[in-house]
Amino acid sequence: MGLIQEISEYLQKGRAKNVKALVQQALDENLDPKEILNDGLLSAMMIVGTKFKNNEVFVPEVLVAARAMNAGLSVLEPKLVEVGNEPVGKAVIGTVQGDLHDIGKNLVVMMLKGAGFEIYDLGVDVDPAVYIDKAEEVGADIICMSALLTTTMPKMQDCIENLKERGLRDKYIVMIGGAPVNDSFCEQVGADYYTPDAATCAEVAKKVVLEKRAAG
Amino acid sequence: MNSKERFLATVERKPVDRPAAWLGMPDIYAQPALFEHYGVKNMHELKLAVGDDFYAIEVPYESPDASAIYAAFDWYMDGNVDAEERTLTADGCFKDAEEIEDLDFFEWPDPAKYIDVEECKRRIGAAPKDKVRLGMMWSAHFQDTCASFGMETALMNMIANPEIYEAVDEKIIDFYLKANEIFYEAAKGELDAVLIGNDMGSQRGLMLSPEMVRRFIIPGCKKLVEQAHSYGLKVIYHSCGSIADIIPDLIGVGVDVVHPIQALAAGMEPKGLKERFGDKVSFCGGVDTQDLLVNGTPEDVKAKVRELRTIFPTGLIISPSHEAIMPDVPPANIKALFDEAQKVY
Ligand code: B12
C-alpha cells in the first residue's frame, strides 16, 4: 500500500498519531504536499462524511476522523504555505442567535475543512449582523447558518434581510441547515442552498464556489 | 375511566375510552400565552384546565452549586451550574483525563445531602390523586457524561478510551440510583410513573451507532428501569430524534412507554412504529412540534390527532413531539390537541 493510501486509511479509522507520523514521513520522502493534502487527508474525510450521511458511521467516528485530519494538517500546513496552496474558499459559520445547538454545526465545520475551505467559526448564539461583519472582514465566499429550533430559524431570514439592506446579498453564497430547516424554508427566506447533512453541504459549497469563481 | 386507569390501559395496550394525553412541560417563555388563553395563573391551574391526564413532579434538589437535579454536577468547577447555559459541548473538567486516577480530584455530590425528603413528600402529596403522578427523574447519565468531558471529547473517548468514559458514567449512574431511591422511598405508593431518558437521536438517525448505544447507554438504562419497576412504577423512556433502531433494546430492558414520537425524525412515522413495535411497547408523543403545532391551524392539529387515534386505538399517549412546548406554538393549537384527544367517539 502506498503512503498516501495508508494516511487515508488511518484517517478513516480516526488514528491521529498514525496520521501525524505518516504525514511527516511523506514529507520526509518529498511527496507533494498538495497530494498529501488532497489524496491523503481531504478525500479520506469526505469518505467518512459520505458514510455518515448514509448512517454507516455516526458522530463519534466523524469526530475521531476529524481529529486525525487536524493532526495531519498541523504537520502539513507550514509546507502548504511554502508551496502557496490556496484554500478552495473561505466560509463564515455559526449557530443563529438564541440557539445553542452546535454538534451539527461543528460537523459542518469539519466537513468544510475536509473540502479544503478556510473556516471562520463564530460559535453559537450569533447575532445576524455578526456573520456579515465577519464575512466582510475576512473576504469570505460563503455564509453558513445553523438552526435547530423553530423559534430561532427566523434569525436566518434576519441575516439575509440585513445582507440586502447593506447591498451585499449577491456578494455571498448563503447556506442554511439544521434539523427543522428544509428546501421550502430555504426558498421562503431567500437563502441560496439548504442541505440535510454536512457532507452534502461541503460538496455543494465547493461546487458553487468554484462555479462562481469560474463565472468571474 | 379516570386518568390513571386510562394510562395503565394504554401501557398494557388494552382498550381505552379515549387516549390519555400529556401537555408536557411548556417552556417558561411559552407559559404566559397559555395561562392567558386558559385564564389561569400558574402551571398547576394550567394542568387542570387543559385536562391533562398527567401531573409531573420534579425532584427537589438544593446544593451549593445547583437547584435542579439535572444540573447537579459542577463540571465546570466554578460553582455556577446554570442549567440554561449547559450545552454539553463546552469543555468539562475531565477534558484531559486519560487514566482513571485523573478523575480523583472531582468531588461527587451526595444526593442524600441535597434532597429534602419532606419536600419530596410535600410535592408528591400536592399532586391530584386521580392524575398519573409522574416523577421527572431524567437521570440523563449519557448527557451528563458527555458534559463532564465536553461532548466531543466524550464521544471520541467512546472509541479511543472507553474505560474512562465508562468510569464516569458509572459514578453518575450511582448518583442517580441513590437520588431516585430517596425520592421513591419518600413517595411510597403515591407515584405512578417516572420519566427517564437521554437524547440519542438526531433528525436523520441515531447520534451513536446502535452498537455503541448498546454498550454505553442501555446497561445504565436497564439499572434505572429495574429500580423504578421494583417500586411498582411504570417507566416512560425519553429520547428525542430518530431512535427507531434501538427501540428493540429499550423494549429489551423493560421500558413501558417510549417518548416522544418525534414525528418528523427519520423512521419515526407513527404508522411504522405501530406496525413494528405496537404489540411490545407503548408510545407518547406524535403531534409534531417542528412544523404542525407551530405553523398549522387548530383544524390541522385535530386532523392529526384523529389520524393518530386511528393508527393507535390504544398504546399511544397523545402529546407534542417535544415536552418543552416552545413560545412559537399558538395556545389554540394546544387546546385543539386536547379537545380532539378528549373526545369519546
Ligand atoms: C442534542 C440536542 C440538544 C442538546 C444540544 C447540545 C449541543 N451542544 O448542541 C441540548 C440538551 C443542550 C439541547 C437543548 C435544547 N433543545 Co435540543 N435537541 C438535541 C437533539 C436531540 C439532537 C441535535 C443534534 O445535535 N443532532 C446531531 C447533529 C449531528 O445533527 P444536526 O444538528 O441536525 O446537524 C446535521 C444537519 O442538520 C446539518 N446541518 C446542521 N447545521 C447546518 C448548517 C448548514 C449551513 C448546513 C448546510 C447543514 C447543517 O448537518 C449536520 C450533520 O450532518 C435534537 C433532536 C433533533 N431532531 O435534532 C433536539 C431538538 C433540536 N431540541 C429541541 C428543544 C426544544 C431544545 C430546548 C429548547 C429544550 C429545553 N427546553 O431545554 C433546548 C434549547 C437550548 C437552546 N437555546 O438552544 C427540539 C426543537 C423543537 C423545535 N420546536 O424546533 C428538538 C428538535 C427535539 C424535539 N424532540 O423536538 N438540545
Contact B291/A at CB under 8 A: yes
Closest partner residue to B87 (CB to CB) among A57, A104, A124 is A124
What's the CATH code, domain A89-215?
Answer: 3.40.50.280
Q: Residue A181's closest CA among A199, A197, A169, A164?
A: A197
Name the closest residue on chain A to residue B294, using Cα atoms: A150
Q: Count up the domains in chain B and report the number.
A: 1
Q: Hey, is the C-beta of A57 within 8 angstroms of any chain B C-beta?
A: yes
B153-169: pLDDT as tens digits: 999 999 999 999 999 99
pLDDT at B78: 66
Residue B182's pLDDT band, with cuts at 50, 70 and 90, is very high
* Residues in chain B within 8 Å Cβ distance of A103: 88-89, 151, 202, 207
Mean of pLDDT values over B320-345? 96
CA nearest ligand 1 atom 49, residue: A177
* ipTM score assigned to the predicted complex: 0.94
Arithmetic mean of pLDDT, B182-195: 96
pLDDT digits (tens, 9 = 90+) for A111-168: 999 999 999 999 999 999 999 999 999 999 999 999 999 999 999 999 999 999 999 9
Are A120 and A172 in contact by the 8 Å Cβ rule? The answer is no
Q: pLDDT tens digit string along A9-18?
A: 999 999 999 9
Whether A98 and A76 have beta carbons less than 8 Å apart is answered as no
- Edge-to-edge, what's the strand order for the sheet holding A117-121? A117-121, A89-95, A142-146, A173-177, A193-194
The SS3 of residue B327 is coil
Residue B81 pLDDT grade (very low, low, confident, very high; cuts 50, 70, 90): low
Instruction: Find all residues with CB under 8 Å of A107, minimum gap 6, and list them.
Output: A52, A59, A62, A198
pLDDT for A159-200, tens place per residue?
Answer: 999 999 999 999 999 999 999 999 999 999 999 999 999 999
A14–B160 CB contact, under 8 Å: yes
Chain-chain contact of A58 with B208 (C-beta, under 8 angstroms): yes
Among A19, A95, A150, A197, the strongest candidate for a mutation testing the B interface, having the largest count of B CBs within 10 A, is A150
Class of domain A3-82: mainly alpha
Q: How confident is the model at residue B89 (pLDDT cuts 50, 70, 90)?
A: confident
Average pLDDT of the segment spanning A20-30 = 97
Distance in Å, CA B142 to ligand 1 centroid: 16
- The residue whose CA has the least distance to atom 69 of ligand 1 is B324
Residue B293 has pLDDT above 80, yes or no: yes
Query: Does B159 contact A64 at a Cβ distance shorter than 8 Å?
Result: yes
Task: State the pairing for strand pair B316-320/B282-287.
Answer: parallel
Q: The domain containing residue B323 runs over which residues?
A: 3-341
Region B184-208: what's the mean pLDDT?
96
Radius of gyration of chain B from Cα atoms? 20
Residue A132 Cβ < 6 Å to ligand 1: no
- Kindly tell me the burial class for residue B96, based on how many C-beta atoms sit within 10 Å of its own C-beta (0-12, 13-18, 19 or more): exposed
- Cα(A211)–Cα(A157) distance, rounded to whole angstroms? 25
Q: Residue A155: list chain B partners with CB under 8 A.
A: none
Identify any residues that bridge with B282 across adjacent strands, giving them in sequence order. B257
Work out the mean pLDDT of chain A and round it to a whole number: 96
What gap in Å lies between CA B223 and CA B208, rounded to an integer?
20
Model's pTM, two decimal places? 0.95
CB-based burial of residue A198 (10 Å sphere; 0-12 exposed, 13-18 middle, 19+ buried)?
buried
Instruction: Inspect the interface and report whether the beta carbons of B207 and A180 lie closer than 8 Å.
Output: no
**A62 within 8 A of A121, measured Cβ to Cβ:** no
Q: Does A190 touch chain B (CB under 8 A)?
A: no
Q: List chain A residues with CB under 8 Å of B202.
A: 59, 103-104, 179
For ligand 1, atom 90, which residue shows the shortest CA distance?
Answer: B322
Q: What pLDDT shows up at residue B80?
A: 55
- For chain A, what are the domain ranges? 3-82, 89-215
Check CB contact of A184 with chain B, cutoff 8 Å: no
Query: Quick check: A177 and A201 in contact, CB under 8 A?
Result: yes
Ligand 1: which residue has its CA nearest to atom 75? A100
Q: Does the CB of A17 have a partner CB in chain B at under 8 Å?
A: no
Distance, in Å, from the CA atom of A144 to the CA atom of A115, rounded to the nearest integer, reads 15
Residue B321 Cα to ligand 1 midpoint, Å, equals 14
**pLDDT above 60 for B177:** yes
**DSSP string spanning B21-84?**
B------TTTHHHHHHHHT-SSHHHHHHHHT-SEEEEEPP---SS-SSGGG---TTSSS---GG
- Percent of chain B past pLDDT 90, that is, above it, reads 92
Q: How confident is residue B345, by pLDDT bands cut at 50, 70 and 90?
A: confident
**A2 grid coordinates:** 502506498
Across the interface, whether the CB atoms of B160 and A106 are under 8 A apart is answered: no
Does residue A105's CB lie within 6 angstroms of at least one atom of ligand 1?
A: yes
Average pLDDT over residues A27-44: 96
* 3-class SS of residue B3: helix
What is the Cβ-side half-sphere exposure of residue B307, based on CA atoms within 13 angstroms? Answer: 13
- Taking CA atoms, what residue in A is nearest to B159? A60
Tell me if A150 and B206 make a contact (CB, 8 A cut-off).
Answer: no
Asked if A106 reaches chain B (Cβ–Cβ under 8 Å), the answer is yes
Using the Cβ of B83 and the Cβ atoms of chain A, whether some distance falls under 8 Å is answered with no
CATH number where B145 lies: 3.20.20.210
Of A107, A148, A201, the one to substitute when testing ligand 1's pocket (max ligand atoms within 8 A of C-beta) is A148
The size of the A-B interface in CB pairs under 8 A is 65
CB < 8 Å from A in window 150-209 of B: 151-152, 155-156, 158-160, 202-209
Instruction: Work out the minimum CA distance from B254 to partner chain A, whole angstroms.
Output: 26
Asked whether A125 and A101 are in contact (CB, 8 A), the reply is: no
Please tell me the predicted confidence (pLDDT) of residue B88.
78
The Cβ-side half-sphere exposure at B49, using a 13 Å CA radius, reads: 16
Q: What is the pLDDT of residue B75?
A: 87
In the predicted model, what is the mean pLDDT of residues B225-239? 98
Cβ B297 under 6 angstroms from ligand 1: no
Does the beta carbon of B10 lie under 8 angstroms from any beta carbon of chain A?
no
What's the CA gap between B26 and B331, in Å, rounded?
Answer: 11
> Confidence class of residue B257 from pLDDT cuts 50, 70 and 90?
very high
Mean pLDDT of chain B: 95
What value does the CA radius of gyration of chain A take, rounded to a whole number of Å?
A: 18
Alpha carbons B79 and B100: distance in angstroms, whole number: 24
Q: Collect all residues of chain B within an 8 Å Cβ-Cβ radius of residue A57.
A: 209
